[in-house]
Amino acid sequence: MVKRLEDGGSAAIVLPSIFEEQVTIAESGRIHSMDPLDSEFALLLSEFALNDQLLRGPNQYLEHIRLAKRAVRIPVIASLNGITGGSWLKYAFEVEQAGADAIELNLDEAAIDPRDSSLAVEARIRNAVAELKRELRIPLAIKLTPYFTAFANLAHQLDDAGANGLVLFHRFSHPDLELDGLKLVTRHTLSQSPELLLRLHWVAVLRSHVAASLAITGGVATATDGIKALLVGADAVQMTSAIFRNGPHCFDVMSQGLSRWAEEKGFRSIDDLRGRMSLQHTAEPTLYERANYIRTLQTPPPKET
């Protein structure tokens, strides 16, 4: 599959994630410091579906990196998904040794404990990044959610901590309620173009404020979506749902659409258009945001047909 993606025109491959829980259960037999065989925790930890038939274990994941690197010439990026920083230090180094060109770290913390302050949550993320950067020689990108009190400030903190890239945004899978059986139902849905708007907004805001590369993930379904991402300042776009829908050839469709549009508009290179519509070209970004908000509320909605 990674070879098919390279042949289709992908510039890099982000592998599926390995989860913190897989690493700790393999190393210590524990999940979040709890023993699954202890009757006190057995019921709680049974919710973790660490299916060996579906998920590669830590050693298998390292071998998968090696095989992928041998199969393609484009960069292969490992993905680590967890809620703490400490458990990744040793394993992240092993990922680097296996040949990964970079690591995408997804610190997926829901932060639903009301005693846990926003400052504490952000400090844990920042400290995890700083600690990993001290150990790694390969680039480290951080995949974030938009649910932070002052997102621009957190991005600035991670930039200072040494993050080489910021990936916007992680998509939460929100469960639904099944009324007849009174139970939760989880559904995995593919992203749609409307989800891109939030990502465009924050890349446009951050473009001139961080040195880290900015990648957009979620909502990039068409060539038009990719062009918008570049215009607000994205250094890269990630696609998953588009590949599921259309196959690896969607990269060629994206590239051709970008080339045609750039030629029509007189742009000679991607660098000529990247960031042309970011907030760095606005004298007072805060006032611009406020004015746009007021204008939107005063504009009548379109009539439904």
Reported as a single tens digit per residue, the pLDDT across 207-228 is 989 999 999 999 999 999 999 9
CA distances for 284 relative to 224, 232, 270, 279, angstroms: 28, 17, 26, 9
Amino acid at position 142, single letter? I
pLDDT at 285 over 70: yes
* Model confidence, pTM: 0.88
* C-alpha to C-alpha distance for 223 and 214, rounded to whole angstroms: 18
pLDDT at residue 304 in the model: 73
Residue 253 φ/ψ, nearest 5 degrees: -60, -45
Please state the separation of Cα 61 from the chain's center in Å: 19
Tokens of 277: 């519509």
Contact 163, 217 (CB under 8 A): no
Class of domain 2-280: alpha beta
CA angle 270, 151, 289 (to 5 degrees): 70
Q: Give the total residue count for the chain.
A: 305
pLDDT at residue 97 in the model: 96
pLDDT mean over 227-238: 96
pLDDT mean over 259-277: 93
pLDDT at residue 30 in the model: 65
Query: 19: closest CA among 54, 46, 66?
Result: 54
* C-alpha to C-alpha distance for 81 and 16, rounded to whole angstroms: 10
- Which residues are 76's β-sheet partners? 13
- Which residues are 236's β-sheet partners? 215
* C-alpha to C-alpha distance for 55 and 247, rounded to whole angstroms: 22
* C-alpha to C-alpha distance for 166 and 158, rounded to whole angstroms: 9
Range name among 11-15, 156-160, 177-181, 231-235 with the lowest pLDDT average: 177-181
Please state the separation of Cα 7 from the chain's center in Å: 23
